A and B are shown apart, each in its own frame.
Chain A
Amino acid sequence: MKKIISIGLLLISILTLSACSKSGSMFSISFFDYMDTYISINVYAQNQEQADEYKVVIEDIYKKYHELTTNYEPLKPESQYLENIYSINQKNNQVIEIDIELYEIIQRAEEMKVLTDGYFDISVGEVVNVWKNLILDETDGYLFEEVPETVFQTAMDQINLIQLEQNVIELSETNGKYFIQVKSTHAQLDLGAISKGYATQKVYEYLQELGIEYYSISAGSSSIAIGKNMNRDGGIFNVSLANPIKTGTSDRTYGMIYVKDIGITTSGDYEQYAIYQGLRYHHIVSPKTKLPMQYYHTITVLGTDLGLLDAVSTALFSMPPEVLDNWLILHQEALNLEFIQFNYDGTILTHMTTTVFEENAA
C-alpha cells in the first residue's frame, strides 16, 4: 500500500513539475505600422491575456516615438502631442514648446553628437534628404542601380549648395515646459538614426522592469534587444550577421555571435543604396563631408543601451578607420561596447571583450 502511495506521489510530483514548466510560454507580438519597419517581439507570459497587456504598452511606446519623430507627416489633428519633427522643420528659428518625450530624445541625440565628436548629428536632414531621394524616390530613385553621371552631378550640386551650420539646436526648460529652437533658416532635423533604437530601448526597459527573463525584440533587423532564449541551453540566442556583399543564398551571412541579455545594432550600406562609379551611395551621411562614406559595409555594435548603439553605429560608419580606432581607445571600455566592422575591402575586424564571434559559422 505504501509503495502504491509513494509511486502515486512520484507521478503527481512529475506531472506537477512538467505543469510548472508549461505554466507560461512565449507569445509573439508584431507591428508593421511604426518606424517604417517590421517590428517583432517574442515575450514570455503566463497567458494570452498577459501578453495582450504587454502588447498595449509596447505598441504605445513605438506609436508615440513614431508620431513624435517622423519627418514625413504632421501630427494628426486629434494627436495628444504638441509638435513633431515634421512640424518643427516647418518652423525654423521659432521657439516652440514640445512634449517632454520629444525633448528628451533630442537631448539624448545632442549628447550622442558630443560623444561622437559630431559624427552623429540630427541636424543634417537636408543633406540626408538629397541622398535618400537619389536612392529611394518612388519614380526617380536608383535603388541598387547605377546612377547616371548627370543625375549624380545634379545631386552633388544640391549638396554643395547646402551650408551646414554648427550647433543649431537650442533646448530649454522653463517652469516645467520644454522648448526647442532650430537656429537656422534652412536646417532640417532627422531622427531616423536614433528613434528606432531609442524606442526599442524603452521597450527593453519596460520588459526588464517587469522582471521578464525570456524575450527578444527585433526592430527591422538592424536593432535588436534580447533577454534569454527559453528554447536553448544557457539561454543563448544565435545571431547571424548579414553579409553586405552577398552574391547568392549560400553566402547571405558572414558570421555568428552567441549572445543573451544584450542589445545589438548594425548600420550598413546593403539595404538601401545606389551605385556610382562602382561605389555604393547609401543613406548614412557623414555630417563632416555631407557624403555617404565608403570605409565599411557594416558596423555592428553590441551593448546595453539601444538608443546609444543606434547613434554610435551610425557615427562610426562615417569615421575614417584611424578616427574610429582612436574613438574606440577612448570610449569602448567606459561604455562597455563591442564592435564588428565589415570593411569595404571585405576584411572583418572585431573588437570583442566577452562575446564569441565565429566567422562564416552560418
Chain B
Amino acid sequence: MKANLSVKNKRDILLVTLLFTILGGIYILVRLFAFQGEASIANVYYGNSNEPIVSIDFVNYRVITNYNQDVPSSYGQVYPIIDETSNTITLLGDYELNGTRQIVVIQYNYGAKSVQIIQEKSPNNICSREGVSTAWPLICLPNRIRVEFDTNKEDFTV
C-alpha cells in the first residue's frame, strides 16, 4: 500500500512538472513571437475598420485580401486589386474629384520588407511623399487609407 502511494506520488510530481513545462514553453513561445523586432506583416486598413483589408506577409511572400471594399457598382470594379506582377495593391480612397473617388496604389517589396504609396490623389499628397517605409505608418488623408507595420520595437513615433 505504502509502495503504491509512493509510485502515485512520483506520477503526480511528473504530471505537475510536465504541466508546468508545457505552460512555460507556451509562454516563452508567445513572448518570442510578440517581441520580434522586424516587421513580418504590414496591414492595410480602410476607413475606421480595425480589421485590415489587406495583409502583406513578408515572411511567406504573399498578400492576403481579408475582405473587399464596399464600392458602388458604378465603379465597375472590385477593390482591392492585387497585382502580383507589379507588386501593387490598389484601393479606392475617399477623396473625390468631380464626384469620383480616387484610387490609392500601394507598392510592396518582400525583400526589403517595405511599402510605398506610389499613386494617390489628395490636396497635399503627403502620404505618397513619405517615400518608402519599413516601419513608419503611412496615413493617407482624406483617402482614409493607412498602412501599419506590426513591428514591436517601437509603439509610437512623435
Residues of A within 8 A of B (CB): 3, 7, 10-11, 14, 28, 30-32, 36-38, 136, 138, 141, 143-144, 216, 218, 221-222, 224, 226, 229, 231, 237-242, 248-249, 252-253, 256, 264-266, 271-272, 300, 362
Residues of A contacting B153 in the complex (Cβ-Cβ under 8 angstroms): 238, 362
Q: Could you tell me the distance between the alpha carbons of A226 and B156 in the complex, rounded to whole angstroms?
A: 10
Which of B124, B135, B144, B157: most chain A CB closer than 10 A?
Answer: B157
Given contacts A3-B12, A28-B50, contact A249 B158 (CB under 8 A): no
Q: Which of A7, A216, A272 is in CB contact (< 8 Å) with B155?
A: A216
B52 CB to closest chain A CB, in angstroms?
A: 11
B12 A14 Cβ-Cβ under 8 A = no
Residues of A contacting B50 in the complex (Cβ-Cβ under 8 angstroms): 28, 30
Excluding A224-B158, A252-B135, 12 further A-B contacts by CB distance (< 8 Å) are: A7-B16, A14-B23, A32-B47, A36-B141, A38-B141, A144-B129, A221-B157, A222-B158, A242-B158, A249-B114, A264-B158, A362-B154
Q: Which residue of A lies closest to B51 (CB)?
A: A28
Given contacts A3-B12, A38-B146, contact A249 B132 (CB under 8 A): yes
1/0 contact string of B6-18 vs chain A (CB within 8 Å): 0011001001100
B156 A32 Cβ-Cβ under 8 A = no
B79 within 8 Å of A (CB atoms): no
Q: Could you tell me the distance between the alpha carbons of A144 and B125 in the complex, rounded to whole angstroms?
A: 11
Residues of A contacting B132 in the complex (Cβ-Cβ under 8 angstroms): 248-249
Residues of B contacting A31 in the complex (Cβ-Cβ under 8 angstroms): 48
B30 CB to closest chain A CB, in angstroms?
A: 10
Residues of A contacting B142 in the complex (Cβ-Cβ under 8 angstroms): 32
Q: Could you tell me the distance between the alpha carbons of A138 and B139 in the complex, rounded to whole angstroms?
A: 19
B157 A242 Cβ-Cβ under 8 A = yes
Given contacts A36-B141, A138-B123, contact A300 B155 (CB under 8 A): no
B116 CB to closest chain A CB, in angstroms?
A: 10
Q: Could you tell me the distance between the alpha carbons of A150 and B151 in the complex, rounded to whole angstroms?
A: 46
Residues of A contacting B146 in the complex (Cβ-Cβ under 8 angstroms): 38
A260 CB to closest chain B CB, in angstroms?
A: 11
B124 CB to closest chain A CB, in angstroms?
A: 5
B133 A141 Cβ-Cβ under 8 A = no
A237 B114 Cβ-Cβ under 8 A = no
B157 A253 Cβ-Cβ under 8 A = yes
A30 B129 Cβ-Cβ under 8 A = no
Residues of A contacting B123 in the complex (Cβ-Cβ under 8 angstroms): 136, 138
A249 B134 Cβ-Cβ under 8 A = yes
A252 B136 Cβ-Cβ under 8 A = yes
Q: Could you tell me the distance between the alpha carbons of A270 and B122 in the complex, rounded to whole angstroms?
A: 19
B69 CB to closest chain A CB, in angstroms?
A: 15
14 CB < 8 A contacts A-B? A10-B16, A11-B19, A28-B50, A32-B47, A32-B142, A36-B141, A38-B146, A216-B155, A221-B156, A240-B156, A249-B131, A256-B154, A300-B158, A362-B153
A3 B134 Cβ-Cβ under 8 A = no
Q: Could you tell me the distance between the alpha carbons of A231 and B141 in the complex, rounded to whole angstroms?
A: 29
Q: Could you tell me the distance between the alpha carbons of A2 and B153 in the complex, rounded to whole angstroms?
A: 48
Given contacts A7-B16, A32-B142, A38-B139, contact A239 B133 (CB under 8 A): no
Which of A143, A252, A272: most chain B CB closer than 10 A?
Answer: A252
Residues of B contacting A143 in the complex (Cβ-Cβ under 8 angstroms): 124-126, 129
B158 A266 Cβ-Cβ under 8 A = yes
Q: Which residue of B lies closest to A42 (CB)?
A: B155
Residues of A contacting B47 in the complex (Cβ-Cβ under 8 angstroms): 32
Q: Which of A30, A216, A229, A241 is in CB contact (< 8 Å) with B157?
A: A241
Q: Could you tell me the distance between the alpha carbons of A32 and B9 in the complex, rounded to whole angstroms?
A: 62
B48 A237 Cβ-Cβ under 8 A = no
Q: Could you tell me the distance between the alpha carbons of A256 and B155 in the complex, rounded to whole angstroms?
A: 10
A7 B15 Cβ-Cβ under 8 A = yes
Q: Could you tell me the distance between the alpha carbons of A300 and B158 in the complex, rounded to whole angstroms?
A: 8
B34 within 8 Å of A (CB atoms): yes
Q: Could you tell me the distance between the alpha carbons of A228 and B136 in the complex, rounded to whole angstroms?
A: 22
A238 B155 Cβ-Cβ under 8 A = yes
Residues of B contacting A241 in the complex (Cβ-Cβ under 8 angstroms): 157-158
A302 CB to closest chain B CB, in angstroms?
A: 9
Q: Could you tell me the distance between the alpha carbons of A222 and B157 in the complex, rounded to whole angstroms?
A: 8
Residues of B contacting A136 in the complex (Cβ-Cβ under 8 angstroms): 123-124
Residues of B contacting A141 in the complex (Cβ-Cβ under 8 angstroms): 124
Q: Which residue of A lies closest to B47 (CB)?
A: A32
A191 CB to closest chain B CB, in angstroms?
A: 20
